[in-house]
Every structure is written in structure tokens, then in C-alpha cells.
Copies of this chain bind each other. A is one copy, B any other.
Amino acid sequence: MKKISNPKWYQAQCLKLKKRGTLGFVPTMGCLHLGHLTLIRESVKHCDFTAVSIFVNPLQFGPKEDFTCYPRPLKDDLLLCKQAGVDLVFLPTPEEFYGSNFSIIMDETQVSQGYCGKSRPHHFAGVLTVMAKLLNGTQPDFLWMGQKDFQQCRVIQRLIENLNFPVVFKMCETVREKDGLAMSSRNRYLSPEERKTAPLIYAALKSTQALYRKEKNLEKLSRHLHMCLNSIPGFKIDYAKLVDRDTLQEGKTKNLVILVAGFFGKTRLIDNLLF
């Protein structure tokens, strides 16, 4: 397994691998858990070669968010990548990655506009920029991302379709702890008490899904969802919406996804469920 921090050198190595077979790519911010590893294993299984990026992207964090204290257990991450059969790890510094004359702006005007886009104003602009750079730097045949960041997946799909990136987008199901909590690098911020109650987020999603089988009234479903989430001790809802899974627009009763975000203290968690 090669580890490369220089973007030009990384790009050259990726192009080399591509000449010998299919290349899969898993972009991460490190602090790898079973969710990331599932993406990596899928890529290793389906592609001849797999590249993983480990890069905590400053552009997608707000000024009051956790960029500086975001966990960076690099040694563990590299071991996990190696064990999973990764061929190439890209781990640039922000300075190497963005250079000194960075002046391109990217944004998206539809699927990025509500939900996390509203709560985190420049988040998706940062995500789009880093992904455009990573896709060009890697030139993968397949891009593997997790359903846990559902809105992000939709934003990246727009990027790929709108700008004609020659890559196949693959979304893998959210990996959960045994008690249902969606795996996230931020779960480690939770106190033991919060960790115990956090699985109730997923329980609220499942309960709303169960009600949906009997009841298609969006207002009732939304009320039920909010009631379930509001009853979680210490949890403060950021948003909780039933929306169209493709356009992320409200008002539809079919082809839905529930999108939820909220806080335990300062720890922001998100989850979603398709039905």
C-alpha cells in the first residue's frame, strides 16, 4: 500500500493504476469505522484497485464547527486501510491540497439548499470543491459513498451528472451499531449517557416507517416523527423531514426518505431512512 501526500504524485499513480484495471475510490476524513470499511471492502471486491483519501477538508467546516478537534487517528486508519486491501492512500495537508492561489468557487442550487445546507451554510460548497478536486485527482471508475450522508450523496450525484465526471456513483447502506445507532466518527464525542439514548434516533425513524405502512398523511407522519425525537432525553432536533428521495423536495407521499439531524450537547448527529 502506497501513502502519498503530494497531489501531483498521487494523480500520476492513480493514472498508472487505471491503465492496468478499474479503479475504485473512497473519499474519507479519516477516523475510519465499520461504515468506511464497508465502502472500502465493496470497492476492493468490485474494482481491480482501490484508492482512499484521508483529508479533513477545512472548506466544509463552519467557523464554529469541530475542524480543529475533528479526530485524526492516522496510524489506526492506515492500518485499517492496509488490512482491507487498499492500494493507495492519499493524505495531503490542506496547504498541499489547495495551494496558494485557490480562486475557484463551486456551489449547487437545488438538492443542497435545505436541511444540512441550511444549518451549515458553506458546507456543501466545500464538499463540492473537495470532491471535484478528488475526482479529477483520482479519476476513479467507481466512487463509493455511504447513505448515512444522504443529502451529500445527492449533491455529489448532481456534481457528477451536471459536470459529466466519467465515474459510476455507488451508494452503500448505512452501517449501524448493534443497537441501531448509525456509525459516525462523531459518536465518540457522546457522553456514556448520550451514547445510551442516541439509538432512539433510529428508533424514531423506524417507528415513523411503521406508521407510514398504515398512514400516508404527511402531516401526521411528521408530527409522529417529531414527537418520537422530542422524547429523546438531551436531544435537540435540528431538522426532521419526510421528503422525496430524489429531489429532496417536501410534499410527496411516495419514494420518501426521512432526513434527521440534531444535537446531543455540541455533538451533531444525522441519520436517514428510505421507504
Contacts and interface: CB of A to CB of B under 8 A. Distances in A.
A15 B141 CA distance: 12
Nearest to A159: B104
A165 interface: yes
Nearest to A162: B104
24 contacts: A11-B164, A11-B166, A15-B166, A98-B162, A99-B161, A101-B110, A101-B161, A103-B108, A103-B110, A103-B111, A103-B158, A103-B162, A104-B108, A104-B159, A105-B105, A105-B106, A105-B109, A106-B106, A132-B132, A133-B162, A133-B163, A136-B164, A136-B166, A137-B164
B133 A164 contact: yes
Interface in A224-249: none
Q: DSSP class of A's interface residues: helix, strand, loop or mixed?
A: mixed
Max count, chain B CB within 10 A of own CB: residue among A106, A107, A109, A158: A106
Nearest to A98: B162
Copies, count: 2
A128 interface: yes
A7 interface: yes
Interface in A1-20: 7, 11, 15
Interface in A184-204: none
Interface residues of A, number: 31
Contacts of A162: 98-99, 101-104, 133
A103 B163 CA distance: 10
Interface string A92-132: 00000011011111111111000000000000000011001
A174 interface: no
A139 interface: yes
Interface string A135-164: 011010000000000000000001101111
A171 to B, nearest CB: 18
B163 A132 contact: yes
Contacts of A107: 104-105
Contacts of A158: 101, 103-104
Contact of A166 (B99, B108, B139): B139
- What are the 7 closest A-B residue pairs judged by CB atoms, nearest first? A103-B110, A136-B164, A104-B162, A105-B107, A137-B164, A103-B109, A133-B164
Interface in A162-183: 162-166
A99 B111 CA distance: 16
A9 to B, nearest CB: 12
A84 B161 CA distance: 32
Interface centre among A104, A128, A137 (most CB of B within 10 A): A104
